[in-house]
Structure 1
Amino acid sequence: MTRSRIVIVGAGFAGYRTARTLSRLTRRRADIDITLLNPTDYFLYLPLLPHVAAGVLEPRRVTVSLSGTLPRVRLALGAADDVDLARREVTYTDPEGGRGVLSYDRLVLAVGSVHKLLPVPGVAEHAHGFRGMPEALYLRDHITRQMELAAAAPDPATCRARCTFVVAGAGYTGVELAAQGELFTDALVHGQPLWQGMRPRWLLLDIADRVLPELDPRLSSTAGRVLRRRGVDVRTGTSVKEATKDGVLLDDGEFIETRTLMWCVGVRPDPLVAALGRPLERGRLKVDRNLNLPDHPEVFACGDAAAVPDVHHPGRYTPMTAQHAWRQGAAAGRNVAASLGLTSRRPYAHRDLGFTVDLGGVQAAANPLGVPLSGPLAGAVTRGYHLAAMPGNRVRVAADWLLDAVLPRQAVQLGLVRSWSVPLDTASPEVARVPGPRSDADPNRQETRTAKEDPHDKQQ
């Protein structure tokens, strides 16, 4: 019996939703094989990653098992290296360095995005991104370590540098990271007083004239007001000119002494799509309204890797957000099934339903269905939205939130992730490069990390 082979590359918002949709639509077809290629065995709910970095949620709370939630889908662990459209093959490298090949009759490219690196001296060496679980775990340890070292510093200048944290990029991820991080360090300082009553210092930088420049001005104003009220130094119209192990030089000439630079200036499509040699739109693979690659009806693309026509704004493409990626995944799954005669095709069309920005504690900014909200009400809406959107672990996440509200956070370093294993230029957010041991023991070496997108732009 001839079997149809479907290969899905990537298990982010788009890839996971594609696999889940196809698992449901093909449940009565024994002649269809579905393979999901991904570097890890879990789907990462990225919008809650700042909660992990700040010690609010335990790491496994924001991950969902692929094999446990995708019946009839075979998981192939590995990172895609190349796609041969003529031979209909995907080559990949598994976690142990082995090479593999997957042949397909239908292919869905949902490889997502990687850090956007700018030509700023020192950033690649002294900053870290915020694209996956390893980086969140590293940052959680790093912030804790810097606060402990600041409390034991021999002089005020060293103390001040260690308890100063710089976030470059005031998009979705940068804002949430600064908000959650500021609350985290404030909690840590209660148990470990700093020199002469010194307080942790957080700086949020962006070249734009306001935080969250891609969102509604009212959300931006609310978020900026909450951050400033807490003491976050929000500087708009400001960028990083150079990064060193001792601090950050700003474009206005000021040098900020710090051991922590978090790079949240944005993302770019995974380079794999450019290697296909097909038409691109700002690095994204051009597809039609059915998410098909022109001249290759057997190939589909969705999520950050795909430039999908925006039917509500002719001539434009849907933005790189989790909201679109999640829904494009459903459309891709349905259209792949339609190409096998199981259902009917449906062009992708979706309007943004609004955004929510968690500002830590009970604070948030949200505009569900265009209705602007702030304060505790927005906080309740934001957390309710995340619980509804998560494909698993809802009870565990809610329990962690409840415990965080009544119990102090555990400020300990686990030492599971070293800085050299989460470099800013890592192509795949979940595959750690190991270029050779570099000691994390030197407290004077700048260890940092940063944040995504912005997709968290990818906020659903």
Structure 2
Amino acid sequence: MATSPNTSRTTPHILIVGGGYVGMYTALRLQRRLRSGEATITIVDPQSFMTYQPFLPEVAAGHIEARHVVVPLRRVLPKARVLNGRVVSVDHAHHVATVRPVSGPATEISYDYLVMAPGSVSRTLPIPGLAEHGIGFKNVAEAIHLRNHVLARIDAAASTDDEAVRRRALTFVFVGGGFAGVEALAELEDMARGALKYHPDLRPQDMRWVLVEASDRILPEVGDRMGRYTVEELRRRGIDVRLNTRLTSAVDRRVVLDDGTEFEAGTLVWTAGVKPNPLNRSTDLPLDRQGRIVATEYLTVEGADDAFVAGDCGAVPDLTRPGEFCAPNAQHAVRQARRLADNIVATLRGGERTAYRHSYAGSVASLGLYRGVAHVYGVKLRGFAAWFMHRTYHLSRVPTLNRKVRVVADWTLALFFRRETVSLNGIERPRAEFELASGQDRAA
């Protein structure tokens, strides 16, 4: 195992585990507030970019170019050292983290201050067939894959006269009624409906879109009233919304629900929640029963004043609701990151830390082009007004002016030109044709 060469430094070293919302925004704030030579910053993440996840449904639907929702870490963090790799363990007692880089041997990195922000991973269940056929929806690669997959299923349905094959290809199932599931389904259904204009043999009613939710409502963050409106809106569009229903099997792409319904589906998308990153269990930091790192109201790790935590991987107390914890969403992550960075600066300078207290702004959700729901500061909106607020709010939160301009450019072009509905499924196996040609040459 190699050892990082910076173990003999005298300048305090801040190690940030994870380059998502918390990691990137913490580093941004630190490089703005720290004086020259006051501390060094290292951020470790398998990817070289941060993804603005609220725009993934629009990436999947083709409204926004995929490259415009990712922020290059090295470009926005010139004063930090960015390592592409995965932290596999943290020994905070000795202030050492073990990093496995993208290539090469594992490395031990020592630090003075630790920021744990590895985020979350999809929370799956041991459902037969799910691992083989399910598609997640947490990153750009999955959004691009889902877009290509849905369009490829439409192409396949239009290229066959077999009714069973066509029915299977045009059946799309989404499990999970939170923001990710509802927005992804709504945007993709809207896209697919537009794509059928180029397939005269297919009709919108030939498609079957199913939303499966285990609880008795969807989008609980926008309130009961807006949640019920969303169900009604989706059903009005012909989408089959199944509440109080669970997926029990997906073997051979045959979907089985616990209400006795069975049917074949060419697409199964799993968005039924998240769980803390498994890395948490490879540390000596205190965890709660859900595997989250226990945090104080100052965003320090309980019992460790030189370790900080925020975002999905931490159990951060919600001071506005005593006894509860902050929800794992982007709104909290961004605001926690700023407070966390300020508390690190205060610690370095011998000042006092400030507790994280957040006034909940509300929630917005897109239901396809010109449709949405919103519950912001007590005001409930739906339809075009909510859709416009969704875009306006998230545009204001996209990091860097560069990305804001590019997103607006995408939206502006979409006003004048129809979106592309071409499946680039081949990019997932770029060497397939070359391998086929090579095999034919060998056979000859």
Superposed pair shares fold, TM > 0.5: yes
The 8 Å contact of residues 45 and 62 in structure 1, kept in 2 or not, is answered as yes
**Alpha-carbon spacing, 1:342–1:388, altered in 2? closer, same or farther (3 Å):** farther
Aligned residues: 421
Report the counterpart of residue 260 of structure 1 in structure 2.
267
Q: CA deviation at 1:245?
A: 2.5
Report the counterpart of residue 423 of structure 2 in structure 1.
413
Two-structure CA RMSD over aligned residues (Å): 2.0
Asked if residue 354 in structure 1 is aligned to residue 392 in structure 2, the reply is: no
The 8 Å contact of residues 49 and 136 in structure 1, kept in 2 or not, is answered as yes
Structure 2 distance, partners of 1:137, 1:6, is 34
Report the counterpart of residue 66 of structure 2 in structure 1.
59
From 394, 410, 413, the counterpart of 2:404: 394
Q: Which aligned pairs between 1:219-258 and structure 2 lie closer than 5 A?
A: 219-258=226-265
Structure 2 distance, partners of 1:416, 1:58, is 18
Asked if residue 381 in structure 1 is aligned to residue 374 in structure 2, the reply is: no
Structure 2 distance, partners of 1:22, 1:197, is 51
Report the counterpart of residue 131 of structure 2 in structure 1.
124
Report the counterpart of residue 6 of structure 2 in structure 1.
none
Q: CA deviation at 1:281?
A: 4.4
Once the two structures are overlaid, the 10-residue window that deviates more, 87-96 or 160-169, is 87-96
Structure 1 distance, partners of 2:298, 2:204, is 60
The 8 Å contact of residues 274 and 283 in structure 1, kept in 2 or not, is answered as yes
Report the counterpart of residue 338 of structure 2 in structure 1.
330
Structure 2 distance, partners of 1:201, 1:38, is 39
Give the match's secondary structure for 1:211: coil
Which has the higher relative contact order, 1 or 2, with Cα contacts under 8 A spaced 6 or more apart? 1
Structure 2 distance, partners of 1:148, 1:318, is 44
Q: CA deviation at 1:3?
A: 0.6
The 8 Å contact of residues 159 and 194 in structure 1, kept in 2 or not, is answered as no
Give the match's secondary structure for 2:278: coil
Report the counterpart of residue 209 of structure 2 in structure 1.
202
Q: CA deviation at 1:370?
A: 1.5
Once the two structures are overlaid, the 10-residue window that deviates more, 113-122 or 259-268, is 113-122
Give the match's secondary structure for 2:362: coil
Q: Which aligned pairs between 1:93-104 and structure 2 lie closer than 5 A?
A: 93-96=100-103, 98-104=105-111
From 305, 313, 316, the counterpart of 2:321: 313
Structure 2 distance, partners of 1:315, 1:196, is 52
Give the match's secondary structure for 1:96: coil
Q: For each residue in 1:181-224, what CA deviation from the matched residue of structure 2 results, as whole angstroms up to 9, or x when unmatched? A: 10111111110234577532211110111221344112212222
Give identity over the alignment, percent: 37
From 164, 168, 171, the counterpart of 1:164: 171
Q: For each residue in 1:35-73, what CA deviation from the matched residue of structure 2 results, as whole angstroms up to 9, or x when unmatched? A: 111111111000000111111111111011111112311
Asked if residue 289 in structure 1 is aligned to residue 308 in structure 2, the reply is: no
The 8 Å contact of residues 36 and 74 in structure 1, kept in 2 or not, is answered as yes
Once the two structures are overlaid, the 10-residue window that deviates more, 216-225 or 146-155, is 216-225
Report the counterpart of residue 51 of structure 2 in structure 1.
44
**Alpha-carbon spacing, 1:224–1:198, altered in 2? closer, same or farther (3 Å):** closer
Once the two structures are overlaid, the 10-residue window that deviates more, 96-105 or 176-185, is 96-105
Q: What letter corresponds to residue 388 of structure 1 in structure 2?
A: S
Structure 2 distance, partners of 1:159, 1:200, is 9
Report the counterpart of residue 298 of structure 1 in structure 2.
306
**Alpha-carbon spacing, 1:291–1:320, altered in 2? closer, same or farther (3 Å):** same
Report the counterpart of residue 366 of structure 1 in structure 2.
374
Q: What letter corresponds to residue 311 of structure 1 in structure 2?
A: L
More helix as a share of residues: 2
Report the counterpart of residue 190 of structure 2 in structure 1.
183
The 8 Å contact of residues 224 and 234 in structure 1, kept in 2 or not, is answered as yes
The 8 Å contact of residues 247 and 257 in structure 1, kept in 2 or not, is answered as yes
Q: For each residue in 1:130-185, what CA deviation from the matched residue of structure 2 results, as whole angstroms up to 9, or x when unmatched? A: 11111111111111111100101231221111011000011111100110010111
Unaligned runs of 5+ in 2: 1-8, 437-444
Quick check: which has more Rg, 1 or 2? 2
Q: What letter corresponds to residue 73 of structure 1 in structure 2?
A: A
